Amino acid sequence: MVGAATERGTGGPTPLSKKRVLRQALALADNEGIDALSMRRLGRELDAGAMSLYHHVSNKEELLDGMVDLVFAEIDLPDGRGDWQAAMRAMAVSAREALARHPWAITLMESRTTPGPASLRHREAVTASLRRAGFSVQMATHANWLLNSYTYGHALQEASLPFADAGELEDMIHEVFLPQLPPEEFPYLNESATELMESDYDPADEFDYGLSLILGALEHALRSAGPQPSP
Protein backbone atom coordinates (compact mmCIF):
# COMPACT_ATOMS: atom_id res chain seq x y z
CA MET A 1 0.00 0.00 0.00
CA VAL A 2 1.15 3.49 -0.78
CA GLY A 3 0.79 5.59 2.37
CA ALA A 4 0.12 9.28 2.49
CA ALA A 5 3.04 11.24 1.09
CA THR A 6 4.33 14.37 2.75
CA GLU A 7 5.11 17.72 1.27
CA ARG A 8 8.86 18.28 1.10
CA GLY A 9 9.97 20.43 3.98
CA THR A 10 6.55 20.62 5.71
CA GLY A 11 6.25 17.22 7.35
CA GLY A 12 2.49 17.34 6.80
CA PRO A 13 0.35 15.06 4.67
CA THR A 14 0.02 15.89 1.01
CA PRO A 15 -3.55 17.05 0.44
CA LEU A 16 -5.67 15.20 -2.04
CA SER A 17 -6.08 16.76 -5.47
CA LYS A 18 -7.60 15.53 -8.71
CA LYS A 19 -4.12 15.23 -10.21
CA ARG A 20 -2.89 13.11 -7.31
CA VAL A 21 -5.99 10.90 -7.41
CA LEU A 22 -5.60 10.32 -11.15
CA ARG A 23 -1.88 9.63 -10.92
CA GLN A 24 -2.39 7.06 -8.15
CA ALA A 25 -5.21 5.41 -10.11
CA LEU A 26 -2.92 5.24 -13.15
CA ALA A 27 -0.17 3.60 -11.11
CA LEU A 28 -2.58 1.09 -9.63
CA ALA A 29 -3.94 0.11 -13.03
CA ASP A 30 -0.40 -0.15 -14.45
CA ASN A 31 0.74 -2.41 -11.63
CA GLU A 32 -2.31 -4.61 -11.10
CA GLY A 33 -4.66 -4.09 -14.05
CA ILE A 34 -7.84 -2.10 -14.43
CA ASP A 35 -9.93 -4.75 -12.64
CA ALA A 36 -8.04 -3.99 -9.42
CA LEU A 37 -9.22 -0.38 -9.51
CA SER A 38 -12.10 0.66 -7.30
CA MET A 39 -12.82 3.83 -5.38
CA ARG A 40 -12.43 1.94 -2.11
CA ARG A 41 -9.08 0.45 -3.13
CA LEU A 42 -7.87 3.78 -4.46
CA GLY A 43 -8.80 5.42 -1.18
CA ARG A 44 -6.67 2.89 0.69
CA GLU A 45 -3.74 3.53 -1.63
CA LEU A 46 -4.03 7.25 -0.94
CA ASP A 47 -4.53 6.66 2.78
CA ALA A 48 -7.85 8.44 2.51
CA GLY A 49 -11.50 7.49 2.81
CA ALA A 50 -13.22 6.50 -0.42
CA MET A 51 -15.83 9.19 0.11
CA SER A 52 -13.17 11.90 0.16
CA LEU A 53 -12.24 10.98 -3.42
CA TYR A 54 -15.64 12.15 -4.62
CA HIS A 55 -14.62 15.73 -3.89
CA HIS A 56 -12.21 15.36 -6.85
CA VAL A 57 -13.87 12.83 -9.18
CA SER A 58 -17.63 12.44 -9.10
CA ASN A 59 -17.66 8.74 -10.00
CA LYS A 60 -15.56 5.96 -11.49
CA GLU A 61 -16.45 6.99 -15.04
CA GLU A 62 -14.92 10.42 -14.47
CA LEU A 63 -11.90 8.68 -12.95
CA LEU A 64 -11.48 6.55 -16.07
CA ASP A 65 -11.92 9.61 -18.30
CA GLY A 66 -9.10 11.35 -16.44
CA MET A 67 -6.82 8.32 -16.55
CA VAL A 68 -7.29 7.88 -20.30
CA ASP A 69 -6.58 11.56 -20.78
CA LEU A 70 -3.26 11.12 -18.95
CA VAL A 71 -2.33 8.40 -21.44
CA PHE A 72 -3.28 10.62 -24.39
CA ALA A 73 -1.05 13.32 -22.90
CA GLU A 74 1.95 10.99 -23.29
CA ILE A 75 1.47 10.62 -27.06
CA ASP A 76 3.47 12.95 -29.29
CA LEU A 77 1.31 15.34 -31.30
CA PRO A 78 1.85 15.84 -35.04
CA ASP A 79 2.64 19.48 -35.78
CA GLY A 80 0.76 19.43 -39.08
CA ARG A 81 3.39 21.45 -40.94
CA GLY A 82 5.86 18.88 -42.23
CA ASP A 83 5.56 15.57 -44.05
CA TRP A 84 2.26 13.99 -43.03
CA GLN A 85 3.60 10.43 -43.23
CA ALA A 86 6.48 11.24 -40.87
CA ALA A 87 4.02 12.95 -38.52
CA MET A 88 1.62 9.98 -38.49
CA ARG A 89 4.49 7.53 -38.07
CA ALA A 90 5.88 9.44 -35.08
CA MET A 91 2.42 9.68 -33.55
CA ALA A 92 1.71 5.96 -34.01
CA VAL A 93 5.08 4.93 -32.59
CA SER A 94 4.55 7.20 -29.59
CA ALA A 95 1.04 5.79 -29.06
CA ARG A 96 2.37 2.24 -29.19
CA GLU A 97 4.98 3.09 -26.55
CA ALA A 98 2.39 4.75 -24.30
CA LEU A 99 0.10 1.73 -24.56
CA ALA A 100 2.98 -0.59 -23.72
CA ARG A 101 3.37 1.38 -20.49
CA HIS A 102 -0.38 1.33 -19.84
CA PRO A 103 -1.81 -1.83 -21.47
CA TRP A 104 -5.07 -1.53 -19.52
CA ALA A 105 -5.87 1.60 -21.59
CA ILE A 106 -5.86 -0.14 -25.00
CA THR A 107 -9.57 -0.96 -25.00
CA LEU A 108 -10.58 2.35 -23.39
CA MET A 109 -8.89 4.90 -25.64
CA GLU A 110 -11.84 5.19 -28.04
CA SER A 111 -14.65 4.36 -25.62
CA ARG A 112 -14.90 7.59 -23.62
CA THR A 113 -17.80 9.90 -24.46
CA THR A 114 -16.46 12.83 -22.43
CA PRO A 115 -12.88 13.21 -23.71
CA GLY A 116 -10.46 15.32 -21.73
CA PRO A 117 -8.28 18.18 -22.98
CA ALA A 118 -5.30 15.99 -23.93
CA SER A 119 -7.56 13.66 -25.91
CA LEU A 120 -9.15 16.57 -27.78
CA ARG A 121 -5.76 18.14 -28.52
CA HIS A 122 -4.57 14.79 -29.87
CA ARG A 123 -7.57 14.34 -32.14
CA GLU A 124 -7.42 17.94 -33.37
CA ALA A 125 -3.71 17.67 -34.18
CA VAL A 126 -4.12 14.40 -36.08
CA THR A 127 -7.07 15.70 -38.08
CA ALA A 128 -5.30 19.00 -38.82
CA SER A 129 -2.20 17.20 -40.06
CA LEU A 130 -4.22 15.03 -42.44
CA ARG A 131 -6.41 17.87 -43.70
CA ARG A 132 -3.41 20.14 -44.35
CA ALA A 133 -1.82 17.28 -46.30
CA GLY A 134 -4.79 17.32 -48.69
CA PHE A 135 -7.05 14.62 -47.23
CA SER A 136 -10.76 15.33 -47.49
CA VAL A 137 -12.83 15.17 -44.32
CA GLN A 138 -13.98 11.64 -45.09
CA MET A 139 -10.52 10.44 -46.16
CA ALA A 140 -9.00 11.91 -42.99
CA THR A 141 -11.63 10.05 -40.99
CA HIS A 142 -10.80 6.81 -42.83
CA ALA A 143 -7.09 7.35 -42.19
CA ASN A 144 -7.65 8.05 -38.50
CA TRP A 145 -9.78 4.91 -38.06
CA LEU A 146 -7.21 2.81 -39.89
CA LEU A 147 -4.23 4.11 -37.93
CA ASN A 148 -6.02 3.77 -34.60
CA SER A 149 -7.25 0.26 -35.37
CA TYR A 150 -3.78 -0.86 -36.37
CA THR A 151 -2.00 0.78 -33.43
CA TYR A 152 -4.45 -0.40 -30.77
CA GLY A 153 -4.72 -3.87 -32.27
CA HIS A 154 -0.97 -4.27 -32.47
CA ALA A 155 -0.57 -3.04 -28.88
CA LEU A 156 -3.21 -5.52 -27.72
CA GLN A 157 -1.47 -8.37 -29.53
CA GLU A 158 1.92 -7.40 -28.11
CA ALA A 159 0.49 -7.27 -24.59
CA SER A 160 -0.66 -10.89 -24.90
CA LEU A 161 2.45 -12.41 -26.48
CA PRO A 162 4.17 -15.14 -24.43
CA PHE A 163 7.64 -13.75 -25.24
CA ALA A 164 9.26 -10.36 -24.77
CA ASP A 165 11.87 -10.18 -27.53
CA ALA A 166 13.59 -12.01 -30.38
CA GLY A 167 15.74 -14.05 -28.00
CA GLU A 168 12.77 -15.35 -26.05
CA LEU A 169 10.92 -16.07 -29.30
CA GLU A 170 13.82 -18.16 -30.57
CA ASP A 171 13.86 -20.17 -27.35
CA MET A 172 10.09 -20.72 -27.51
CA ILE A 173 10.23 -21.85 -31.14
CA HIS A 174 12.95 -24.36 -30.31
CA GLU A 175 11.53 -25.63 -27.02
CA VAL A 176 7.77 -25.21 -27.37
CA PHE A 177 6.54 -24.64 -30.92
CA LEU A 178 8.68 -26.92 -33.10
CA PRO A 179 7.93 -30.07 -31.05
CA GLN A 180 4.24 -29.45 -31.82
CA LEU A 181 4.86 -29.05 -35.56
CA PRO A 182 6.00 -32.32 -37.11
CA PRO A 183 6.99 -31.54 -40.73
CA GLU A 184 4.99 -34.39 -42.19
CA GLU A 185 1.78 -32.94 -40.68
CA PHE A 186 2.48 -29.19 -40.70
CA PRO A 187 5.12 -28.66 -43.40
CA TYR A 188 4.60 -24.93 -43.87
CA LEU A 189 4.38 -24.05 -40.18
CA ASN A 190 7.45 -26.16 -39.48
CA GLU A 191 9.31 -24.45 -42.32
CA SER A 192 8.32 -20.98 -41.06
CA ALA A 193 9.25 -21.73 -37.46
CA THR A 194 12.62 -23.19 -38.44
CA GLU A 195 13.55 -20.30 -40.72
CA LEU A 196 12.49 -17.65 -38.20
CA MET A 197 14.49 -19.36 -35.46
CA GLU A 198 17.61 -19.56 -37.62
CA SER A 199 17.40 -16.04 -39.11
CA ASP A 200 17.75 -12.55 -37.70
CA TYR A 201 13.97 -12.12 -37.54
CA ASP A 202 12.83 -9.73 -34.82
CA PRO A 203 9.11 -9.44 -33.97
CA ALA A 204 9.75 -5.87 -32.81
CA ASP A 205 10.05 -4.92 -36.50
CA GLU A 206 6.48 -5.97 -37.27
CA PHE A 207 4.87 -2.70 -36.17
CA ASP A 208 6.99 -0.57 -38.48
CA TYR A 209 6.49 -3.00 -41.38
CA GLY A 210 2.72 -2.88 -41.12
CA LEU A 211 2.66 0.86 -40.49
CA SER A 212 4.70 1.47 -43.65
CA LEU A 213 2.18 -0.54 -45.70
CA ILE A 214 -0.71 1.47 -44.27
CA LEU A 215 0.95 4.84 -44.84
CA GLY A 216 1.88 3.83 -48.38
CA ALA A 217 -1.70 2.80 -49.12
CA LEU A 218 -3.03 6.08 -47.70
CA GLU A 219 -0.55 8.02 -49.85
CA HIS A 220 -1.79 6.15 -52.91
CA ALA A 221 -5.41 6.92 -52.01
CA LEU A 222 -4.55 10.59 -51.50
CA ARG A 223 -2.87 10.89 -54.88
CA SER A 224 -5.70 9.07 -56.61
CA ALA A 225 -8.32 11.38 -55.13
CA GLY A 226 -6.33 14.54 -55.69
CA PRO A 227 -5.60 17.08 -52.95
CA GLN A 228 -8.59 18.61 -51.20
CA PRO A 229 -8.69 22.16 -49.85
CA SER A 230 -8.16 22.45 -46.11
CA PRO A 231 -9.84 25.09 -43.95
Per residue in 138-178, pLDDT (tens digit) is 999 999 999 999 999 999 999 999 988 999 999 999 999 99
H or E segment to which residue 220 belongs: helix 206-225
Q: Is there a domain that residue 64 lies in?
A: no
Percent pLDDT > 70 in the chain is 92
What is the value of pTM for the model shown?
0.86
Determine, yes or no, domain membership for 99: yes
Mean pLDDT of the chain: 90
DSSP letter, residue 115: -
Q: Is 117 in the same domain as 4?
A: no
Q: Tell me whether residue 70 is in a domain.
A: no
pLDDT of residue 3: 42
pLDDT of residue 82: 79
Residue 230 falls within a domain, yes or no?
no
Determine, yes or no, domain membership for 159.
yes
* pLDDT level of residue 10 (50, 70, 90 thresholds): very low
Provide the angle, in degrees to the nearest 10, between the axes of the packed helices 117-132 and 60-73: 40
What's the total number of domains in the chain?
2
Q: What is the predicted pLDDT for the residue at 50?
A: 78
Q: 176-198 burial string, b = 16+ CB within 10 Å, else e? A: ebbeebeeeeeeeebeebbebbe
Question: Hey, which residues does 13 pair with through a beta bridge?
Answer: 6
Residue 231 in domain: no
Q: In a 3-state reduction of DSSP, which class is residue 6?
A: strand
pLDDT at 80 over 90: no
Does the structure show a pLDDT above 60 at 123? yes
**Cα→Cα distances 113→52, 54, 64, 128, 156, Å:** 25, 20, 11, 21, 21
Do 45 and 121 lie in a common domain? no
CATH number at residue 172: 1.10.357.10
Within a domain: 65: no
- Does residue 164 belong to any structural domain of this protein? yes
Q: What is the mean pLDDT of residues 31-37?
A: 95
The reply to whether 6 and 86 lie within a common domain is no
Q: What is the pLDDT of residue 227?
A: 61
Determine the average pLDDT of the residues in 72-91.
Answer: 92
Is there a single domain that holds both residue 138 and residue 220?
yes
pLDDT in the model for residue 228: 65
Q: Look up the CATH number of the domain holding residue 28.
A: 1.10.10.60
Domain that holds residue 128: 77-225
Res 12 pLDDT > 90? no
Phi, psi of 6 (to 5 degrees): -120, 145
Model pLDDT for residues 198-218, shown as the tens digit of each residue? 999 999 999 999 999 999 999
Cβ neighbors of 39 (< 8 A, separation 6 or more) are 50, 53, 54, 60, 63
